[in-house]
A and B are shown apart, each in its own frame.
Chain A
Amino acid sequence: MIPELGNFALILALLLSVVLGTLPIVGAARNIPAWTALARPVAQGMALFVVVAWGCLVYSFMVSDFSVLNVATNSNSQLPAQYRFAATWGSHEGSMLLWVFMLAFWTLAVSLKSRHLPDDMVARVLGVMGLVSFGFLLFMLLTSNPFDRLFPVPADGRDLNPLLQDPGMVMHPPMLYMGYVGFSVAFAFAIGALLGGRLDATWARWSRPWTTLAWSFLTIGIMIGSWWAYYTLGWGGWWFWDPVENASFMPWLVGTALLHSLAVTEKRGAFKNWTVLLAISAFSLSLVGTFLVRSGVLTSVHSFATDPKRGVFILAFLLVVIGGSLALYAVRAPKVGIGSRFDLVSRESLLLANNVLLLAATGSVLLGTLYPLFLDALNLGKISVGPPYFDAVFVPLMTPLVFLMGVGPLARWKQAAIPDLWRLLRWAAAISVVTALLVPFLTGQWKPGVSFGLLLAFWIVAATFVGIRERVRNVRSGLWSQLARQPRSYWGMVLAHLGIAVFIVGVTMVKGYETERDVKMNVGDTVSVGGYTFRFDGVTRQRGPNYQAQRGAFTVTKDGVYVENLYPEKRQYNAGGMPMTNAAIDSGFFGDIYVSLGDPVDATAWVVRVYSKPFVTWLWGGFTLMALGGFLALMDRRYRTGAQRDLALPRGAAAAR
């Protein structure tokens, strides 16, 4: 009964999305107020039914209704409750429903938080989101219905893939999808502006907070995914350049470019065409990512289904959405003015360079991800592109970007002078070079790569502090009141840029100084890694809620002093399948020690992997700072007072500004 209710709610949501995708847009074009007024209530109705459908699937999982195929394949009666909940999005069908759920959430948010926007704009934006929802709802109902029944009803379910039975599974997909799907708002605003022919600073100002919010969630989602891979896959890697990781990373790169170019469009009215193109691209890459994951054109640990029917549907949908919006762009963009002029050296030009570098990075990730596909399609053989390619391409592209990150915030709009910038930044440059050369000696082993990485990080920190000092320098009143007076969006930027610096320190130190040992150990044997000594105390059997584990015990000492015990596990889930490795990790501010249990060699001896990973936690710390920077920028006062000001102005005046 409940699954049928969910199915019915999906159908109703589909019908409402048809209404939402047509009448308000036509109403806005033909100036029919009754039709444009439909946008908000219909959007809210659609969101309501999607939430009901999602709730029905959650319910089916929570009560273990194995007559639902999706539940039978991805859950089990022994599965703990939090993973039964997370199993809702553990399958292809369920994750599509999560996608639509997030889209409904964003549509609802726009419908509630858009009171200060002109009605025709709201109608267009919600209409575009309705069209996107329509595509996904139709896709689910036609090819991937999460409520399909199974008969005869099995006694128990097959269980959720053990790899997914992890707290990361509860957090990672929702956060990632929040970000992914959140770019649909910026996209809808861009399409709405193109349709209405009103691509101005006001449009950029409306899109900006939505983009920042989506970007922050995407940042968190990627961070959790990386952390999860690090502690579950059992060999200590944190980024694999897997096609699906790349699929989430590309929208992030373009989204980062979009954040910066929206700032230029809002403040200076420049780059309008460019910004619109970025807004379309960010969401398009989210869609392409969905296609890559769902269609199985590329092999990846994340792929669920390889069904060409689904692939053809998503590809047709991509053609309509992306092809349609790029065609609209080609037709309508020329009507938009060029914007104000700027000099060769100015904040505009530096931000443009930032955009070009970020897009070049996106292009190289896209090329690396799709290269195997291109070759295969041209019958040139099957190959895979690995981390060496990405490492080789990424460092040269990121180095100038980091350099610009230091200079950009100090440059004036419209016109900046190189001598001025040099005068401001020479001390920052000198300090970062000297510290970068000296600090690696503290570790006892100087390496050129480490020194270079630290140079980039220290440069960002030093230049950021110069920037802060510049902002408060010419002021009489107290330093603290001046610092407090800086807008939160400024502090958001500072935090995000420092986050990059922290991240770079993490990457540099891990790559430079990580050590690992792969050894065969008998009970009582010891192994030393990174200054720690590990004694193997044997393996015992343990029972989990839905698995049997073999638990290894290790005593860790440093210079003969007891530090702690670590217990890595090897789990065999009752529902069958591959054994799982659960590494034991001691995370600290200055790095992790990481033990994972390999395979038994004979009755008493085991293969054991031990790693020391200095500063690895800084990777995730850096990403967290970036996301916090995004959230801080959103709390900026002008988003609240600005909204009220728009409300006070008559419609024409708001548009003219």
Chain B
Amino acid sequence: MNKRLLLPLVVFLVLAGFLFAGLWRDPRQVPSPLIDKPAPQFSLARLDDPAAKLGTADMKGQVWLLNVWASWCVSCREEHPLLVELGKAKVVPIVGLNYKDEPSAGRKWLAQFGDPYTTSVIDRDGNVGIDFGVYGVPETFVIDKNGTIRYKQIGPVTAEALEKTILPLVRELQKS
């Protein structure tokens, strides 16, 4: 057999090797510049009671999750049952950032699918989202007792991410 004719196959196999390696890497996982930086300060109206406010200052001293969600976001429905479970277990407070959403639509959505959040706050024009560098909904941040962002989950929280990354990190942070 003419060896030269094998060349296209070899080139393709090398290429396939790289493509395989690429599958396990997320090109969107731009290392967030906010990791290990203080979480941006905010104080926003609460979704359940717009007269009252909640902000980063109120969460100081405890480990908490900030979950960015919206009623128009379909991927949020995907992660929602997991969050409801997590909320029931009361392991860690979850603050919902109701991002670029109609507050009434948000309230209706929570009534329909269950409310996992300790509190949700209204970020109607998305300014706080911008401070947090949100570029897709849902996103979830793990914030420690000093108000430092320790982890960011882009896209829906999966059972795997919760078990293997988020919860162990939360427990570790709660101990310190």
Residues of A within 8 A of B (CB): 72-73, 158, 273, 277, 280-281, 284, 288, 291, 295-299, 306, 308, 311-312, 315, 318-319, 322-323, 326-327, 329-331, 333-334, 370, 372-374, 376-377, 382, 575-577
Contact = CB atoms under 8 A, between A and B. Distances in A.
B9 A312 contact: no
A330 B5 CA distance: 5
Contacts of B13: 323
Q: Ordered nearest first, which 3 A-B pairs have the shortest CB separation?
A: A576-B72, A377-B21, A326-B9
Contact of A382 (B5, B23, B27, B100): B27
B4 to A, nearest CB: 9
Contacts of A298: 22, 27
Contacts of A73: 74
Given A323-B9, A334-B2, A576-B101, A315 B23 contact: yes
Nearest to B3: A330
Interface string B22-64: 1111111010000000000000000000000000000000000
Contacts of B24: 308
Interface string B71-90: 11010000000000000000
B28 A299 contact: yes
A290 to B, nearest CB: 12
B1 interface: yes
B70 interface: yes
Contact of B18 (A273, A318, A374): A374
Contact of A315 (B8, B20, B30, B101): B20
A297 B22 contact: yes
B27 A296 contact: yes
- Identify the interface centre among B19, B28, B72: most chain A CB within 10 Å of its CB: B19
Contacts of B19: 288, 291, 295, 297, 315, 318, 373
Q: Per DSSP, are chain A's interface residues mostly helix, strand or loop, or mixed?
A: helix
B130 interface: no
A576 B101 CA distance: 8
B16 A319 contact: yes
Contacts, number: 87
A327 B19 CA distance: 19
Given A315-B23, A372-B27, A377-B21, 6 more contacts: A72-B74, A295-B19, A312-B23, A315-B16, A370-B15, A373-B22
22 contacts: A158-B72, A284-B12, A288-B15, A295-B19, A298-B27, A306-B28, A306-B155, A308-B24, A323-B16, A329-B5, A331-B1, A333-B5, A373-B19, A373-B27, A376-B27, A377-B18, A377-B21, A382-B27, A382-B30, A576-B70, A576-B100, A577-B72
Contact of A370 (B2, B18, B30): B18
Nearest to B113: A152
B111 interface: no
A318 B16 CA distance: 8
A385 B104 CA distance: 44
B23 A295 contact: yes
A297 B23 contact: yes
A548 to B, nearest CB: 13
Contacts of B74: 72-73, 158
A334 B101 CA distance: 65
Contacts of B22: 297-298, 373, 376-377
B16 A297 contact: no
Nearest to B71: A576
B6 A330 contact: yes
A42 to B, nearest CB: 30
A162 B13 CA distance: 39
A342 B42 CA distance: 76
Contacts of A333: 2, 5
B25 A376 contact: yes
Contacts of B100: 576
Given A158-B74, A576-B72, A373 B18 contact: yes
A334 B8 CA distance: 14
Interface string B138-165: 0000000000000000010000000000
Q: Which of A284, A295, A312, A327 has the most CB of B within 10 A?
A: A327
Interface centre among A73, A295, A298, A373 (most CB of B within 10 A): A373
Nearest to A72: B74
Contacts of A382: 27, 30
A308 B23 contact: yes
Most chain A beta-carbon contacts within 10 A, residue among B8, B26, B72: B8
Contact of A326 (B2, B12, B25, B27): B12
A277 B1 CA distance: 17
B5 A323 contact: no
Nearest to A308: B23
A84 to B, nearest CB: 17
B27 A297 contact: yes
A149 B120 CA distance: 30
A313 to B, nearest CB: 11
A322 B1 CA distance: 20
Nearest to B27: A299
A260 B8 CA distance: 20
Contacts of B70: 576
Nearest to A377: B21
Given A319-B16, A334-B2, A377 B25 contact: yes
Given A284-B12, A373-B22, A334 B72 contact: no
B2 to A, nearest CB: 5
Interface string B87-106: 00000000000001100000
A74 to B, nearest CB: 9
Nearest to B26: A306
A460 B110 CA distance: 65
Nearest to A155: B112
A100 to B, nearest CB: 22
Contacts of B6: 330
A273 to B, nearest CB: 8
B141 to A, nearest CB: 20
B8 A277 contact: yes
A319 B16 CA distance: 7
A306 B71 CA distance: 22
Contacts of B2: 333-334
Contacts of A374: 18
Nearest to B5: A330
